[in-house]
Amino acid sequence: MSQPARARILVINPNSSATCTAGIVASLSRFAAPSLPRIDVTSLPGGPPAIITWRHWYSAAEPICRMIEEQEADAYIIACVSDPGLEAARTSTTRPVFGVLRSAIAAATARAERFGIIGFTDQSRARQLRALQSMGLEARLTQSLPLNLDMETLTDPVAPRARICAIARELAAGGAQAIILGCAGMAGHRAAAEDAAGVPVIEPCQAAAVQALLAVG
């Protein structure tokens, strides 16, 4: 008797950074098991090196929609902590589409009353605020403190760690009871940031993967 087809979750990194995509793959490797849906990670052909400006955010929306239309999956994850094109992507399929920022916010508020964000750049704040406002949760954010590093420095296993840990400690001292890593490129630094801050640190791609796994269960 043939086995039913294994469910598939497609994770789309909307930037073109190979190191960022590799970091997402490593972060989600804990969910690899024959009994679970298959998680495939891909980058967006022709995407910007990072989603920094609103122009980058809007430019990614249509290519994300086309990829969703062209690649069949049981759920989709947009793996950028700005949730670029999320609303448009949800009109491209009847399957669930998750933004990692909103997933991380949901995870943070499930664990703590107040949370902080380690931001990618100063320009991330406006997009984070938009997501928080759409969820009615802006009052639960303590601070968003940016790293202001380029993507390749951010994804280095050593170079940004001291700065990430310092900001994590600052956020915790400022009242954050949980901390969100504000870029998929920080995935490899979650454990170190959590040790430094002494509060839960949420990696957004993992938070979205948990929600997607539950959705396609």
Q: How many CA atoms lie within 13 A of 38 on its CB side?
A: 7
Q: For residues 24 and 18, give the distance between their C-alpha atoms in angstroms, rounded to a whole number.
A: 10
The length of the chain is 217
pLDDT tens digits along 40-75: 999 988 888 888 899 999 999 999 999 999 999 999
Q: What domains appear along the chain, each with residue ranges and CATH number?
A: 8-99+205-216 (3.40.50.12500), 101-204 (3.40.50.1860)
pLDDT tens digits along 94-142: 999 999 999 999 999 999 999 999 999 999 899 999 999 999 999 999 9
> Does residue 1 register a pLDDT over 60?
no
Q: How many CA atoms lie within 13 A of 64 on its CB side?
A: 31
Q: So what's the pLDDT on residue 154?
A: 87
